[in-house]
Amino acid sequence: MGKRLFDEVTTETKTEGWVVSASQIKTWVACPRKWGFEYIKGLRSPSTAATLLGSAVHKILEDYFTGVGDPYDGPGGKAQTLAQAVIDSGALPSPGFFIEPENVERPFLLRTGDLKIRGFIDLVVPKARTPLVADHKTS
């Protein structure tokens, strides 16, 4: 039998000790000093136009898949247009068909040795013909 990659995978996100995210790991690899400024000192870089757009599209899709909002009823703009394009592409199932609200922005925690990694899966569709795990990206 092969070596296990993780000792534990759970949707429980409350844990004791040091917990990191994939973003923290990416920042650390790129520049440990930047990681320290952001995650220890709390000095974050200002959001860029691209990150603001990505966050807006993500929120529209999250609201759509949880049944909270209608992406076709709103002020318009680039974020709404991009969200509608994702929905109209047919790449993702419709809310209520296979998508359950608890599977939108689903938290997870991975543990391997002393390292704990926390994150969120944007969309999980386990009942689709081919189970789907989606991460919304605008880049």
Residue-wise pLDDT for 14-46, tens only, equals: 667 778 998 999 999 999 999 999 999 999 989
| Residue 3 within a domain | no
The percentage of residues in the chain with a pLDDT greater than 90, rounded to a whole number, is 46
d(CA 110, CA 7): 8
Cβ(118)–Cβ(19) under 8 Å? yes
- CA–CA dist 75, 132 (Å, integer): 30
Is residue 56 a part of any domain in this protein?
Answer: yes
pLDDT per position as a tens digit, 113-132: 788 888 899 998 887 778 88
Count of the separate structural domains present in the chain: 1
Domain residues for 80?
8-134
pLDDT of residue 9: 66
